Structure 1
Amino acid sequence: MQTITLNNPITIDSTSISELTLRRPKVRDYLAIDRLDGSNLAREVALTANLASVTKETIEELDIVDYVKIQEVLRGFFPSQRT
């Protein structure tokens, strides 16, 4: 698990959110998003919401700077590939 402190906290249903904790993804997480329609970004948002145990709408409210931080954490969950 990794906790990301938000540069720009958000408020959802009168609750302030200043950090999100993402758990490591499992194969079942990828199978779930593979079944979804939509763009790659929409699938990534759904995956992020699932890993953080929040709604997609919560992820959609994030400032782009904070979302980029989350994307970096997601990339860190996967070993780099060598060609």
Structure 2
Amino acid sequence: MKIYTLKFPIETETATIETLVLRRPRVRDVATIEALKDRPQAEMTIELIAVLTGLTSEVIGEMDLEDMVAVSELITDFLAGLPGPAAGDPLPPMSQPSSASDIPN
């Protein structure tokens, strides 16, 4: 289990989420990654973060990009030691925007 403190808390209708608790991935989570390979990277990352935190993909979709990059790196660290197809870099790290103008409004 890893705990990540969001730099930019997620505001929902009922709560402010300031930390994410990510459990260790299970075999079925690796299968989820494999099933999402043809989807856009951001969609795959959102879904996996949702699965590992127990939050909905809609809530995760509201996460700040900087936090999403950091959390995707935590997940990659989790998966790096796994044998087989999940080894290596199963979840490519999200790229950081090079400037504020690269961040969509």
Q: What runs of 5+ residues in structure 2 fail to find an aligned partner?
A: 82-86, 89-105
The CA RMSD measured in Å over matched residues stands at: 1.8
Whose strand proportion is higher, 1 or 2? 1
The 5 Å alignment of 1:1-83 reads 1-36=1-36, 38-77=39-78, 78-79=80-81, 81=88
TM-score normalized by the length of structure 2 = 0.68
TM-score normalized by the length of structure 1 = 0.83
1:52 shift after superposition: 0.4
CA distance in 1, matches of 2:66, 2:72: 10
Q: Rate the CA distance shift 1:32–1:72 in 2: closer, same or farther, 3 A.
A: closer
Name the larger-Rg structure.
2
Q: What runs of 5+ residues in structure 1 fail to find an aligned partner?
A: none
Alignment size in residue pairs: 81
Task: Give the AA of the match of 1:64.
Answer: L
1:38 shift after superposition: 2.6
Percent of matched pairs sharing the same residue: 36
Higher relative contact order, chain-length normalized (CA < 8 Å, sep 6+): 1
Q: Which runs of 4+ in 1 moved over 6 A?
A: none
1:44 shift after superposition: 2.0
Task: Give the AA of the match of 1:70.
Answer: V
